[in-house]
Structure 1
């Protein structure tokens, strides 16, 4: 068999080819790629034993131990899992840390089972290096436009339906505010950076075109934007999305109350409402210093009243504290940030107007 070797990393990501990450689970957990699944050659414990053996007795002894640890039915089960993946994803590929022994061994075992499946030259390390370098190049060469607007104006929803955009909050799995945490955890910093580079590469298949991003601070929840991107965003022109206050309240109500409760019930079952309530309490508590004690206590009281009504089947009371949160906290903070620095505004309008403007710009 040919033992195929893939060296075109860009095409790999553009085509979104399915990948098998052969590294140990702990390595995968630190960060991998969006199209990769973890089907390790060795468990964390097995890898640790082989590593210790290598350190004390050398490579061949470590290889021999690896074959001993992954043998018999355990070996048959792992080959069966790889074979099933290969049959399901015939255009996929294998990779390990540096494209070395683990992927070579797996490729050979699959070949012995009658499956010729490619591996990636250089493995994870080479793919990661490519993404880091490519992201820096794209940040440097791609014109940026930031979508700005007050909290609740619907920036994320607009971005998701426009071409030539990158949804940073979606990649970070966080809405970028005290109330922005999701039930599922955020990606690791490495996984976020990889996903950002992958998406940007797909958006720039030809000559660099303008990319629209949501106006963000340097971090989104627990993940940080690359320094070069933060610097370029600081000087980028903005498009401002204007949304009536009542619609913003409605948007926040749907996000903080309707969707969050549905997600909580889906995830926590009978504990869903309690988990949902605690999430709102903790989110409000985190901004207590910025609200001031009097402002925080007033909002907390409205929140607890809304919970009582909500348990009785009426969620509408949440609109009162949401309105106060927007008018007393988020809007003054937005005005303050807007006044701190002069920024070139390309366009300002409601969602349909911004959409029409961007489509004109993007298609020119």
Structure 2
């Protein structure tokens, strides 16, 4: 493998969608990583803790010696084989540790001794993370945000998916944005979400100026918070409002939360367990908004939802779900949306159904 130099060109790394070999311990990686990173740690969490304790008590030289004893023999060979395999599969990639220091330099040396010359990100994860924090601020200062708004079930996410100059916030957050939006895949960490958002905006804006479309979101998407500077800019951004009939909205919710979500749980857990997890997830979502619904309304909608799932399990028919969906839309989500829309400072650029909104955007896009 031809040797390439180490780099501190963080912007180009992210623009190129560069594969990263992340050498940090699993706990460090779980706290925050990048969309193209793969965690093949030099040390396990326990090994790292032992080395850290040794460093505090006996100094750097003793800590380095302990690290070499912990990662030795067959275990060292196994990890070296994994790093070598990653390097061969990703010849354009780079490796890093927390600060681009001892851990990444050690692995770099071991790889070189094995005939694999693999470059390092100078400054490591910390420098890359700092770059993305600063770059998000720069991107938001430059970006012309336009929100795709509309009542629950109008298919705003479908509009976002059809646009080239859009960032899918719910996709990055792996959540559908409502109390019922939990997905079986689980959400990334807050840091992962912010990193992925900054990378998405960086790559989009690198293609040129023009509107950047985002779905209108609240402060939270599941348990993940939108960065404060993004929220402030969204608050005043102009809007495209998607309007659909109640029947069409019910159909969208049915497809997204009953058909698609049910299939996701079944794919993860099997038919019987998946169906149980699916129904429990939606019932738990309803329970989370009990106070806002009020006790009587909550109980009435819960009974409708439970009956619909019983019918689905018995016959496979999902039509009974339409009743609780309609009730929830008309008595809870629609009044809440009307209030939230009144709090937005941005002007409404256009209102219409999904097709009309997409046609409006296309008509105003540069050739």
TM-score of the pair, normalised by structure 1: 0.97
Deviations 1:238-291 (A, max 9, x none): 011112221110110011111121111111223111111111211111111222
Whether the aligned pair in 1 keeps the contact of 2:237 and 2:345 (CA below 8 Å) is no
Q: Equivalent of 2:305, from 280, 303, 306? A: 303
Match for residue 214 of structure 1?
215
Other-structure match for 1:234? 235
Residue 288 of structure 2 corresponds to: 286
Can you give the 5+ residue segments of structure 2 that lack an aligned partner in the other structure? Answer: none
Residue 360 of structure 1, CA deviation? 3.4
Aligned in 2, Cα 1:281/1:206: closer, same or farther, shift over 3 Å? closer
- Deviations for 1:313-359, whole angstroms, at most 9, x for unmatched residues? 12211111111111111111111222344530111111122112223
CA distance in structure 2 between the partners assigned to 1:109 and 1:341 by the alignment? 56
DSSP-derived class of the 1:6 partner: coil
Counterpart secondary structure, 2:136: helix
Does residue 319 in structure 1 map to residue 334 in structure 2?
Answer: no
Measure, in 2, the Cα distance between the counterparts of 1:224 and 1:218: 6
Could you tell me how far apart the structure 2 residues matched to 1:2 and 1:181 are?
Answer: 45
Listed as ranges, the gaps of 5+ residues in structure 1 are none
Question: Any conservation in 2 of the 1:181–1:221 contact (CA below 8 Å)?
Answer: yes
SS at match of 1:212: strand
Q: Equivalent residue for 1:38?
A: 39
Instruction: Give the structure 2 partner of residue 165 of structure 1.
Output: 166
Equivalenced residues, count: 364
Is contact 2:99-2:125 (8 Å) kept? Answer: yes
* 8 A contact 2:24–2:42 mirrored in 1: yes
- Secondary structure in structure 1 of the residue aligned to 2:154: coil
Task: Give the distance between the partners of 2:117 and 2:186, measured in 1 at CA.
Answer: 36
Is 1:344–2:347 an aligned residue pair?
A: yes
1:4 aligns with 2:2: no
Residues in 1 aligned to 2:342 and 2:162: alpha-carbon distance in whole angstroms: 30
Instruction: Answer yes or no: is the 8 Å Cα contact 1:166–1:212 preserved in 2.
Output: yes
Secondary structure of residue in 2 paired with 1:119: coil
Q: Which residue of 1 aligns with 2:276?
A: 274
More displaced stretch, 142-151 vs 265-274: 265-274
The aligned counterpart of 2:28 is 27
1 CA distance for matches of 2:293 and 2:70? 58
Q: Which moved more, 1:211-220 or 1:198-207?
A: 198-207
Conserved in 2, the CA contact under 8 Å of 1:41 and 1:78?
yes
Aligned to 1:363: 366
- The secondary structure found in structure 2 opposite 1:20 is strand
| Alpha-carbon distance in structure 2 between the residues aligned to 1:129 and 1:190 | 11
Deviates more, 1:88-97 or 1:290-299: 290-299
Residue 315 (structure 2) pairs with residue 330 (structure 1): no
1:48: how far off?
A: 0.9
Q: CA–CA distance in 2 between the matches of 1:91 and 1:176?
A: 36
